[in-house]
Amino acid sequence: QAKHKGKSSYAHFVPEMTEVSHDRLQMESRMRRALDQNEFELYFQPIVQTDTGALSSAEALIRWNSPSMGMVMPDRFIPLAEETGLIIPIGEWVLQEACHKAMKWREITGTNVGVSVNVSPRQFRDPNFSDIVLKALESSGLEAEYLELEITERLILDNTIETAEILKHLDQAGIRLSVDDFGTGYSALSYLKSYPFDTLKIDKSFVQDVLKEQDDASLVRAIINMAHSLGLRVIAEGVEEEAQTHFLQHEGCDYSQGYFYSRPVPEEAFEKWLRTNHRAKA
Ligand code: C2E
Ligand code: MG
Ligand code: MG
Ligand code: MG
């Protein structure tokens, strides 16, 4: 009796463990196939000038249309892609795709529309990273100044010589560099002085409560002022309400991004948005 009980609880324990690693393995092998099968797709979200609402650029946000899992959001697969190194080929695809799309938007609008691409730490530490970025610019014909790379404070935390060197190299090539999710990384601010960043993106957690919480309002105001004193541009993320745009305008925030303007949308919808927007301005 006791023996049987022991065995069954053991038997209960093991399948659960295997289930977890089985899921991971399955996800990994699906992800390996996904690039060849064209299952990744970029969505685009406009970044506008806060004072006029005019389009400035768009952030590329990856989606995975998996035949077995449906649409998978990046928070669900980017961490595993980083762990396995798959983020390197996926990231290269994102860069190529994003730069080519920016050239297409130029044709549609007759003006320059920049594109922002998220870069994760593993990608950044790949010794070929700079070459991959420059290749994407070269093959698309996009000038470096219209590409912005978004890097989180997490990456800057492992403050290595290589990080500094790569940032310097990319900056010298004319590529724009931004700090994503600014204010959430528990990082010292001194890196802003030594690294060639162009832009701070204020994390949406601060922007969201800017009208309800005095502390968030103070923080956002302080970040904008600090950024400007350092010669950096500021983008507010996660702008969802009109009243927030008034606050940001009043505080002199350069650019805004969020559901209030547009959700991230597929390529075709973004192009339609561009056509309408452009016509409205002309
Ligand atoms: P992120 O770079 O900070 O991107 C902003 C996230 O906020 C996006 O989520 C976007 O859809 C969402 N968002 C935009 N406006 C609003 C708003 O008004 N309210 C709210 N609540 N959310 C808003 P998404 O697309 O799920 O992406 C999540 C994260 O995944 C990104 O955060 C980025 O870190 C990462 N990611 C996305 N695409 C890529 C990629 O191509 N490569 C890498 N390495 N990471 C990526
Ligand atoms: Mg981003
Ligand atoms: Mg620069
Ligand atoms: Mg962010």
The kind and range of the H/E element at 208 are: helix 204-208
Ligand 1 touching residue 95 (CB < 6 A): no
Separation of alpha carbons 135 and 171, rounded Å: 16
Q: How far does the centroid of ligand 2 lie from the alpha carbon of residue 60, in Å?
A: 8
Q: What is the pLDDT of residues 13-70, one digit of tens each?
A: 555 556 678 888 999 999 999 999 999 999 999 999 999 999 999 999 999 999 999 9
- Lowest mean pLDDT segment, chosen from 36-45, 177-186, 233-242: 177-186
pTM: 0.92
Q: How far does the centroid of ligand 3 lie from the alpha carbon of residue 171, in Å?
A: 5
Separation of alpha carbons 113 and 132, rounded Å: 21
Residue with tokens 């350092």: 230
Q: What is the pLDDT of residues 132-174, one digit of tens each?
A: 999 999 999 999 999 999 999 888 877 677 888 999 999 999 9
Ligand 1 touching residue 204 (CB < 6 A): yes
Question: What is the pLDDT averaged over residues 235-241?
Answer: 98
Quote the tokens at residue 28.
């990994």
SS3 176: strand
- At 53 the pLDDT is 93
Closest Cα to atom 9, ligand 1: which residue?
61
The model's confidence at residue 93, banded by pLDDT at 50, 70 and 90, is very high
Q: DSSP of 43-55, one letter per residue?
A: EEEEEEETTT--E
- At 1 the pLDDT is 43
Ligand 1 touching residue 120 (CB < 6 A): yes
What's the count of helices (H) and strands (E) in the chain, helices before strands? 12, 10
Top mutation candidate among 44, 45, 47, 61 for ligand 1, by most atoms within 8 Å of CB: 61
The ligand that comes nearest to the alpha carbon of residue 45 is 1
Report which residue type is found at 156: I
Percent of the chain topping pLDDT 70: 91
The kind and range of the H/E element at 117 are: strand 114-118
**271 to each of 46, 140, 244, 275, how far by Cα in Å?**
11, 18, 26, 6
Q: How far does the centroid of ligand 3 lie from the alpha carbon of residue 221, in Å?
A: 23
Top mutation candidate among 118, 149, 208 for ligand 1, by most atoms within 8 Å of CB: 118
Closest Cα to atom 3, ligand 1: which residue?
181
Whether 224 has a pLDDT exceeding 50, the answer reads: yes
- At 13 the pLDDT is 55
Q: ipTM of the predicted structure?
A: 0.98
- At 3 the pLDDT is 45
Q: What is the pLDDT of residues 109-139, one digit of tens each?
A: 999 999 999 999 999 989 999 999 999 999 9
Q: How far does the centroid of ligand 1 lie from the alpha carbon of residue 237, in Å?
A: 10
Check: CB of residue 243 under 8 Å from CB of residue 212: no
Which residues is 152 bridged to in the sheet?
180
Q: How far does the centroid of ligand 3 lie from the alpha carbon of residue 43, in Å?
A: 25
